[in-house]
Amino acid sequence: MAIQEKNGKIKGKINNIVYRELGDKQVMKIAPARVRQTYATKLSAMEFGLASAQAKVFRNVFRHVYEEADGKMAARLTATVAACIRTSEREIGDRNLHDVDLSLLKGFEFNTHAPFEKLLTVRPIFGVLPNGRFEFSLPPFNVVEDIRYPQDRVRYDPSFLIAVTAFHFREEYARIIDKASFDFKNINQQVQIDWSSSKLLPAGAIVVVTFSLRYLSTNWVGRQVQTTDKAFYPTVILDAYHVTEEMASLARNQGFARATSTIAEFGNNTNSILKDIARFRQKMADKQK
């Protein structure tokens, strides 16, 4: 509804015309007509909401791993999760990350300002065995020559971190299955990393393996501090895979150890969003009868 103010100017809406003031001028704008969403558009929007919710869980759980991210990381991760979900041939509402190909998550950089290929000359080698054992190696490299360091007066030592984390969106929990850090002195030395993780994995879960490099120095009171240069906070998703019943069974039979970390529960809305999609599909089906 529009009103006429004391100065004689109109403020508000008459039919599809909106009146307002811009400085000392009276301006008018035509309001857009109501946009009707098609059934397919509405379903796609609801599924994108599902992808956004599941990507948010990844961000929250990994925020202490990646520490620094580029400004578009959240949007990029949501788009990647959505793309993963769309690899399924199932209908919208019958699919989520637990039902799809996760390969698009592999190689995801949380901070595109700090890509690994520009900071480290060697590439990691990794793989998952049928029993869920994760094997990782970083081929021999020279700590001084093969790592790029921040250009300041502080001499930093490199520290690598590998973390294996399980997610179950339908049961709403995440758990760090295993992790390891490897610290080296910034001196002229040849080193390499060989590591494997043989832990029981929860059947039905999604496992995500992250790899990070941090630059540490020791201050005058003996405390470790990190560089403040955001271009030196690389973190990448090395691998992402489903834990099948067969994989979990093989690990149990071979006596793998249990993960000792605490289960972190979260409310990620996966179940409620899938229920909303199911209700919407049923509503539209009833209209067509």
Q: What percent of the chain has pLDDT over 90?
A: 76
Residue range 14-66, pLDDT digits in tens: 655 666 766 666 666 665 555 456 888 999 999 999 999 999 999 999 999 99
Domain boundaries, the chain: 1-35, 39-281
Q: How far apart are CA 281 and CA 283, in angstroms?
A: 5
Residue range 267-283, pLDDT digits in tens: 778 999 999 999 999 99
If you search the block for the tokens 């390969």, which residue do you land on?
A: 103
Q: How far apart are CA 22 and CA 118, in angstroms?
A: 50
Beta strands in 84-205 (DSSP E): 125-128, 134-142, 157-168, 173-183, 190-197
Amino acid identity at 189: Q
Look at residue 285 in the predicted model and tell me its pLDDT.
86
Range name among 1-5, 133-137, 199-203, 253-257 with the lowest pLDDT average:
1-5
Q: How far apart are CA 49 and CA 54, in angstroms?
A: 9
**pLDDT (average), residues 84-93:** 94
- Mode of pairing for the β-strands spanning 3-4 and 10-14: antiparallel
Quickly list H helices, the chain: 39-66, 73-85, 116-119, 245-253, 270-287
Do the Cβ atoms of 181 and 159 come closer than 8 Å?
Answer: yes
Structure tokens at 94: 């019958």
